[in-house]
Structure 1
Amino acid sequence: MPGDSDLKSLVSELNNALNRKDLDTTTNLLSRAKRSLLQHNALIPNPSLSPELTSLARQVLELGALASIRQTDAPTFTRYYQQLQPFYDLERDAGAPGEKSSQPTVDIKTSQRSKITGLYLLLLLSMGDSTGFHTVLEGLVEEASLKGKSVEDDPYIKYPVELERSLMEGSYDKVWRETKSERVPSEDFGLFSNVLVGTIRSEIADCSEKAYPSLPISNAKNLLFLESEGAVIEFAQQRGWVLRDGRIYFPVEPEATRSEKDILMASGTVIENTIGYARELETIV
């Protein structure tokens, strides 16, 4: 069975491969590292594990989570996040006032708990899972308050929290600006941020189809948060919109001509969704 030093070497190689963005090598090393953890019975923390082995096991899972993000594999990232929770529970318990645990002492210096948790919050946000988002956030708020801190002291947590706040206000333009700003905590957050913006863009497109017969391409660029008119044309083609004389023509509904009231209701869909989202949050908090 490979020793701790062999696993430590594997983790170092894994880190280097991920930093080089060599995802093929990363995947291969992850398989080897997880087999080693299985042989050490270290996939879940237990009292028989040394602090070093516990830390190495957590690092393998964290690197696996980050690799899955860079492969745009949200389900695998979610599985890694779930596998990491027993390790993060150790960290939380170790930091709680007056708490003593029979589990191994943990080395939190190498932990990426904050980053992984922030990424998971952003994923939940991009999926529209407000219940899951606030369930995780409430636990973080409680933990931070016991330490006399705020969750927003942590930039990895602050970023998704501020995005969620803007979404609840219906400030989609602010969300878009935030995802393009220097406040994005790391490159990994940019990947899920793009998913979130894509979700918002699709919702705006749905509402636009119901609210307008057509729009100038130049207006659609700003409305849909696209970088260029070429990007608008590509997006329009994907949606099956008709492009003619510098305008986008939306599909005509087969029903009878819509009333002004129908158009106003369609235009207000985003606002109504935001209000509904806020009401849902009130039942959670």
Structure 2
Amino acid sequence: MSWIAFVLASLGVRFGLTSALRSLLSSATSSTASSSSSATKQLEPKQQLHPPTSKATTAESPTMSTSALQGTLSQLQTTPPPSPQKIATLLTTAKKQLLQLKALLPNPSTTPPILHLARQTLETGALLSIRLQDPDAFTRYFQQLLPFYELPASKFKPAGDGQRSKVTGLYLLLLLTKGDYAGFHTELEGLEVEMGGARGAGLEQDKYIGYPVKLERWLMEGSYDRVWGATKKEGVPSEEFAVFCEVLIGTIRSEIASCSEKAYPSLPIANAKNLLFLESEGSVVEFAQGRGWVVKDGRIYFPLQQGEEMRTEKEILVASGMVIENTVGYARELETIV
């Protein structure tokens, strides 16, 4: 019996140890689970400190973009105007703001207030481009303004005419300075059609459009003295027109100089001063040297005419013979045709 008791006691000890081990393992597992759950609970608030940003919160509202563009436009329209570097920076900013508003070109969804603001911004950019003496930039602004000018009045009618008359007149004057008479008349005919045929004659009565119209007519007539008088300060509609007028006078002066080279062997400096619309005889000498003319004893000698006078008599006879031979040949061909 003692041996049996010993075996039972040993088995009880083993079972007791096993249960004890099981209890220890279960408690350790439960404590680990509880610690992990508590750690998870501590991490959750940290994850909520930086929630994902939605697109709606980062996108700029149309009201904010409109107010920003209005602020940029007010800076561009200050008197006196900003420095050229500042103007270029502000114009770049204004174009970006127009893109944000999707108003760089008019579309059916654009509201009239934004259309008015966009047109006003582009017109300001066009006028400031002339102050910067950048005709290419002015031309680009004018091309961007055309879709706004072509909008029907039922969809968009700005207060007054805005700056359209002024910008259009400047564009016509720019075409004259380039000698693009075909483009000038194409643009003018478009304006006449828009005004309704019979009212086209009223374009000359417009302060800004009528100015280049008169200049073009005087240029065709050869009335350069009237053009010269109209380009002086008191005859110019605005400061922007004066910039292009200086270029136009330079173009006219070059045309007169080319004609003078072919028409005269030489000219007195005093006569050349009046003919070329120059202020002083010193300006005449400087202009003559720039074109390669010879200034001697108070006169200007044109090298082209001197070269023609130096041709030998033999060369003149040969040239005359060729003309006579060609004329006789044309006459014989005409007889054959008849």
Q: TM-score if structure 2 supplies the norm length?
A: 0.69
Aligned equivalents of 2:73 and 2:157: distance in 1? 17
Per the alignment, residue 45 of structure 2 pairs with none
**1:118 matched to 2:162:** no
Q: Give matches, 1:94-243, under 5 Å.
A: 94=153, 100-101=154-155, 105-109=156-160, 111-145=162-196, 150-180=202-232, 182-243=234-295
Aligned equivalents of 1:192 and 1:15: distance in 2? 21
Which stretch shifts more, 33-42 or 205-214?
205-214
Which stretch shifts more, 226-235 or 243-252?
243-252
Residues 21/165 of structure 1: CA separation in 2 closer, same or farther (3 Å cut): farther
Aligned equivalents of 1:158 and 1:137: distance in 2? 11
Offset at residue 112 of structure 1 (A)? 0.5
Per the alignment, residue 4 of structure 1 pairs with 66
Which stretch shifts more, 236-245 or 105-114?
105-114
Higher Cα radius of gyration = 2
Q: Give matches, 1:262-273, under 5 Å.
A: none
Q: Which amino acid aligns with 2:71?
A: S
2:122 maps to which of 61, 65, 86: 61
Instruction: Report if aligned partners of 1:159, 1:183 keep a CA contact under 8 Å in 2.
Output: no
- Number of residue pairs matched? 249
Per the alignment, residue 20 of structure 1 pairs with 81
Aligned equivalents of 1:163 and 1:183: distance in 2? 11
Instruction: Report if aligned partners of 2:65, 2:100 keep a CA contact under 8 Å in 1.
Output: no
Residues 73/155 of structure 1: CA separation in 2 closer, same or farther (3 Å cut): same
Instruction: Report if aligned partners of 2:265, 2:302 keep a CA contact under 8 Å in 1.
Output: yes
Q: Which amino acid aligns with 1:208?
A: S
SS of equivalent to 1:159: helix
Offset at residue 256 of structure 1 (A)? 5.3
Q: Structure 1: 5+ residue runs without aligned partners? A: 95-99, 259-285
Q: Which amino acid aligns with 1:69?
A: I
Per the alignment, residue 73 of structure 1 pairs with 134
Aligned equivalents of 1:227 and 1:21: distance in 2? 32
SS of equivalent to 1:152: helix
Per-residue CA deviation, residues 178-198 of structure 1 (Å, 9 max, x unaligned), is 111523110111111111111
Offset at residue 85 of structure 1 (A)? 0.2
Offset at residue 20 of structure 1 (A)? 2.4
Per the alignment, residue 279 of structure 1 pairs with none
Q: Which amino acid aligns with 2:206?
A: D
Task: Spell out structure 1 runs of 4+ moving beyond 6 A.
Answer: none
**1:42 matched to 2:103:** yes
Instruction: Report if aligned partners of 1:14, 1:63 keep a CA contact under 8 Å in 2.
Output: yes
Instruction: Report if aligned partners of 2:293, 2:301 keep a CA contact under 8 Å in 1.
Output: yes
Q: Which amino acid aligns with 1:188?
A: E
Offset at residue 148 of structure 1 (A)? 5.0
SS of equivalent to 1:47: coil
Offset at residue 107 of structure 1 (A)? 2.1
Q: Which amino acid aligns with 1:222?
A: N
Instruction: Report if aligned partners of 1:54, 1:106 keep a CA contact under 8 Å in 2.
Output: no
Structure 1 or 2: more helix by fraction: 2
Q: Which amino acid aligns with 1:107?
A: P
Instruction: Report if aligned partners of 2:106, 2:147 keep a CA contact under 8 Å in 1.
Output: yes
Aligned equivalents of 1:25 and 1:110: distance in 2? 28
Offset at residue 243 of structure 1 (A)? 1.8
Per-residue CA deviation, residues 223-259 of structure 1 (Å, 9 max, x unaligned), is 001111121122112112222222212214534558x
Offset at residue 21 of structure 1 (A)? 5.6
